[in-house]
Every structure is written in structure tokens, then in C-alpha cells.
Structure 1
Amino acid sequence: MNKTWMRAGVLATVAIAVTALGAPADAAVRIPWRPTVLPLPPGAGAGNLTGTDGKGEYTGTFTINGVTQVVSWRNGQPILRGVPSGFERVDANDENDSGVVVGTIHDYESMVSRTYTLDASGYHIKDNPAGYQEVTGVAINTRGDVLGEAYQPRVGSAIVLWRADGSAPVVIPETGDLANPRDLDDDGTILLDSGTGSALWKDGVVRYLSPSPSAQAQGSAIRNGIVVGWRTGQAARWSAPDGWVGLEGGGIATSINKAGLTAGLVPTPSEPQIYGNGVVWRGTVPGVVQGPSGYSRFRPEVAADDGTLAGYASNDLTPSSGVPVIWRLTP
């Protein structure tokens, strides 16, 4: 969508029509995504929003009275999702449009970690593939396929795919060319790392996203065949394995929704962390993300299907968590 950016004060009024991207259709100025800091439950510490159903629910991992667990916000209010008996910690990593959360649940006594899904009926804990003690839940797609990563000392790591049809999990031993699952597309394509950057795996067929010599590239997220991440120090978007464009003003892109709205972070080469505050793109057109009042650091890391963004804000110089924040496109 082409736009002409005008100096502030040139236009007195702006007519806005919001598209599926969450973008103004005819605006001549950049309309910002404005923040809302969500209320924390009593006893809560820092955390991060990591998933949304794209319909107003946001989910993340927060420490409540010393217990790390899943918290969802519905109608702007927090709901504690609990920790099942026999486990001491639950982390949320993703959520699909049906409100099914996926993540990792930990048993400190046995030192076993397992992948779970969480829906309106409660937790559903998946059996670890034979021979693996730790299995991390990474992502879930629209139809309910679940992506995980398994690890066992002296055995190594493997990519695990549980298909929604209930069939036996697909276990893919990790190698130098296939490792570190990042995300799962709605058609079952897995985004993962390769020896030359990133790769796409589907039904045993591998396509390399960033072929040699472009090893300095990595995909963070995939949706409808579009991959976002970074390449040679710049946020990037791939529409085909060999076709990419840089995303203006970004150091990395972290999430993409079904219509192509992309969340990311700006580069900060002179600071303790290489990435700084949030940035957003409608397709490849950069937008503006405002930080919440009272916080110097803010990171929208999830692009929701309803055009909102979700993440956290902090005053820590090297933030990895903070207070939960959502952003909406508003004049």
C-alpha cells in the first residue's frame, strides 16, 4: 500500500479506514499503534505476552507469588490458568485463533519437561517421544498442529511435530542443516535453522530460505508462506525461499499475522542489547509504535490477526520481560 508521509501539522484531519492489516487505507500521515498497559494480578512480577487468539485474548508467562505460570487477559482482565498437580512451572509460548495455548510444563522433582496444550477444558500434556527427557512446546497453528523441540543428554535434539489428526508424532533428529524449530505455518510447514540460515520443512521436503553464501540470515516467524526475521543485520521479509526485501528501520522482525502485519524491533548497536524498542510494518511499509508512559523500553513481539500488537514494557536497560502491553492502531 503506497503512502505519502507528510510533515506534522500539514493535515488537520485524517480519514481512516482500517484494513485487515490494521492499516489506515487513505491516511496521509502515520497513524500510531497506541499502548495499553494491562493490569497485573495480585502478587505478579514481570513477564511477557507471547500469544493471542486474534479476538481480544492475550496470553503470556508471568511469575505470581513466586510461581511461574500462564496468565490470559480477557476483556482486559487477567485470568490465572493454574499449574497442574505434580508440576511446578508452566510457560506459554503460542496461542492459535481457537484460543488453544501451547508451551512447556516442568516437573522439578523428576527433571522432566513436557509439551502441553491448554484450552477451555484445561491442560492436555503430551507424552515425550521415546528417549527424550525434555520437550519444549514451540508453536501451534490454526488447525491445531503442535511444534516442539526434544532434548536428551548424550542423545541430542530433535524437532517434534504433533499433527492435529492424533497420529504418532513426527520426530526429526536435528543435524547441522536442520535444527532449532522457530515457527509452524497453517499448512504444517516448519520454519527452522539450517547451516546456511533458515529452512522450511514440510512432509519431509526441505527448502532452504537463505542459500549460501548468505549465512547471516534467520527467520523468526512464518504465516501463509511469508517468513520474517533478519538478514545481514536488517529486519527482512521473504515471500519465496530466494526472494527477500529489507524492512525499513528494523533490526529484526519477530512476528507476522495472516494479513502480513509484522512486529519487530529497531537496532541499537551502541547499547547493551543489539535490539531496542518496537517497530511495525504493514506489509513492507513502516508504521509507528508508541511506548507506554513511564517506560523507556517497549517490545511488541506478537502481531495479532485483529491488527493489534502484544508484548511488554520495562525500564530495564537489558529487558527480557516487563508489564504486559497491547497496542491498537488509533488516531
Structure 2
Amino acid sequence: MNRMWTRSGVLAAVVLAAAALATGPAQAATGRLGWQPTLLPLPAGADPAGHGYLHASDGHGEYTGSFIVGDKLQVISWRGGKPTLRGVPAGFEWAMAEGEDSAGRIYGEALDYDTDDHRMFVLDGTGFHFRDNPPGYRSFEIRAVNRQGDAVGMVFTDNPADNAAAVWPAGAAAPTVFPLPSGADNVTDIDDDGTILFSGFARDIVWKNGVSRPLADIPGFSNPHGSAIRNGVVVGFASNANASQAIRWTTPEAPVALTGGDYAADLNVGGLTAGQAPIPGSFQHKPIAWRGTTPAGELKQPGTYPSYLASHVTDDGVFTGWASNGPLDEGGVPVIWRFTP
């Protein structure tokens, strides 16, 4: 996962989500059943265009993201439809919420533009708390957080060959650092049992306790890549020279094509999955959902915004994302989608 951000790779989660962007034709949302959007209000002083990202939740009614308020990127949470400005750490101008655990602790990164000081934080009811950069590494980037609060990411040296993976266990100030598995080049996600999804040069890898299991191909497609892992299930996509195919792996060796989609972005504990489908005759896409492997409909257009995406699925069955009148990689206004039967 907004190019006022200049550090390469700081938006790992958003980059994954942007691959599932939707820029579709106008649709009437009112009077239609299915996945109905709600535009969440921004707090006073916020940029009306949002220029932010909503891709975190505690799984039971709170949604969290980062949006421009004043001249800073600040953390905002919503509960009951009302925004709470959580702010930015003192002395910093930029705070990106990357994930939230089931206890409501928010995990992210803060940046001071003047000094280029870059810190990992945990935000709870008592405020922001920094986590330490591991000794010997010049910087780090968070990739994902599981429900227990284990955060996974990458740590970097001046020699790319020495870059490594890191896990900050819930409640611990210091991370566990370990080499990337053979064939891996980055970290994508962490499951609730500590299993890690790595991106790979040719295919992605599911790794636990030193054992690597590569994602399998499906007929006609190769280079399988995962976007998220929950309860051992991975969702993502594979591609060929002409197209891509959304896929669900019940185990790394057991891929199933997700009907109608070319990309799957995220899933929740019950298997509800967010992804995208191509719009025939165009280069555009629309956001869609699956329950397990069964298509569950498309997500309706929020208001008149032509561009919109869902990057996260909460454990209580809500999609979160953002909408914009411009490019989605520059952020937008916060949106959630709920199912109306």
C-alpha cells in the first residue's frame, strides 16, 4: 500500500490495492440491492478530496485510514459513521495506518519530512508508541498485521543482498529478523498463526517455521502471486500473455479459479473476498466479491465518483476502500460497502 510520499515502496499495501482499482461506468446506487456504498464523513479541516487510504479495521465496527487534514497525513478512525481524528505523532508530518488488530491497536509508519526520520508506531487508547529499528538496518517498511497484532515487514541495509524479513510480535518492542526464503524478494502478508506470504521472483511462497511451499499454477496461467492469507487460504492471481485470472489457494498446492475475476485483493476470516473483474470492451475494471469461490456480486459506485476500489475486507463482512475523481494511487475519500439483501 499518494505521491507526496517519495520513499520507494512505502505504499506496499496500497500498490497491491491499486492493482485492483475500478474505474467503471456510472451506476445508480439507490434502489439497488447488493453491496451498497457509504461515503464516510471526514473531520473538520480535512482535504475535501480526501487524498487518503482506508484499509484497516478491528473487525467489529471500527474502520481506520490515513487522510490529509491540514497539511499533514493523519490517522482517522470511524465508528458508528462518525470520524475521530487520531492525529500524527508529535514532530512528524506523515502517518500511514497499515493495519489494525482485533483489540483496536493501529499499526503504521510515521515520517518527518525535515529530518527523514522514519519510525514504526503502534497507536492505542493512550497514544502513539514507537517501535525500534533493528540494529544494523538503516530502515524498514511494514507490510501487514494479523488479528493478534503481529506486524510483518522488510528491513533494509545499504547492500540489497542483506535485506531481510522482520516480524514485530504483538506487544514486543524489538522484531525478529530472518533471511528471505530462497526465491523470495519481499513480504506480502502474515496469517494469524504466524505463517508468512512472501512474494517471489517466479511465484509467491507460503512460509512457516523454515518450510517454504510455493503457490501452484492453474492450467493456462503461470507466475502465481498472492495478495493476502487468512486461515491458510491465499487469494491472488496468475497471468499469461493475454490476461490474468483471480485465484484462491485452499493450500499452496490447491488453486481454484475465481469465476469472473482477474485479480483477488483481500479476504476475511470467513472467506469473503474482494477483487476485480474486467469490463468487456475496455481497459477498465469493476470491484467484485466472492464468498469462498462463489461470485457474490459487484460493489456499487459510490455517489458520482468514477474511480473506486475496495482494498480490505473486515471480519464482520464490510469492504473498505476509497473513491476519487482522479487517479486512485493518489488516494481519495473513504468508502465502505455493506451487503443489502
Q: TM-score range by the shorter chain?
A: 0.7 to 0.9
Cα offset, 1:240, TM superposition: 0.9
Q: Distance in 2 between matches of 1:210 and 1:87?
A: 43
Cα offset, 1:165, TM superposition: 6.2
Cα offset, 1:107, TM superposition: 2.7
Structure 2 residue aligned with 1:262: 273
Which of 70, 75, 79 aligns to 2:84? It is: 79
Gaps of 5+ in 1: 1-29
Count of residue correspondences = 300
Equivalent positions of 1:124-163 (< 5 A) are 124-155=129-160, 156-163=162-169
When normalised by structure 2's length, the TM-score is 0.81
Cα offset, 1:278, TM superposition: 1.1
| Percentage of pairs with the same residue | 43
Q: Distance in 1 between matches of 2:96 and 2:173?
A: 25
**Higher RCO, Cα 8 Å, sep 6+:** 2
Which of 213, 224, 238 aligns to 1:231? It is: 238
Gaps of 5+ in 2: 1-31
Q: Distance in 1 between matches of 2:227 and 2:280?
A: 20
Structure 1 residue aligned with 2:205: 199
Structure 2 residue aligned with 1:181: 187
Cα offset, 1:211, TM superposition: 6.8
Structure 2 residue aligned with 1:285: 294
Cα offset, 1:298, TM superposition: 1.8
Q: Distance in 1 between matches of 2:183 and 2:322?
A: 33
Cα offset, 1:68, TM superposition: 1.0
Deviations 1:224-258 (A, max 9, x none): 00000111211110001111111122221111000
Structure 2 residue aligned with 1:16: none
Deviations 1:73-116 (A, max 9, x none): 11111111111123221101111221111111113333232222
Q: Distance in 2 between matches of 1:70 and 1:269?
A: 38
Cα offset, 1:217, TM superposition: 1.5
Instruction: Note if contact 1:292-1:313 (Cα within 8 Å) is conserved in structure 2.
Output: yes
Larger radius of gyration: 1
Structure 1 residue 221 corresponds to structure 2 residue 228: yes
Structure 1 residue aligned with 2:39: 37
Structure 2 residue aligned with 1:9: none
Q: Secondary structure at the match of 1:216?
A: strand
Q: Secondary structure at the match of 1:39?
A: coil
Structure 2 residue aligned with 1:123: 128
Alpha-carbon spacing, 1:163–1:264, altered in 2? closer, same or farther (3 Å): same
When normalised by structure 1's length, the TM-score is 0.83
Alpha-carbon spacing, 1:317–1:114, altered in 2? closer, same or farther (3 Å): closer
Alpha-carbon spacing, 1:275–1:237, altered in 2? closer, same or farther (3 Å): farther
Alpha-carbon spacing, 1:326–1:141, altered in 2? closer, same or farther (3 Å): same
Structure 1 residue 329 corresponds to structure 2 residue 328: no
Partner amino acid, structure 2, of 1:160: A
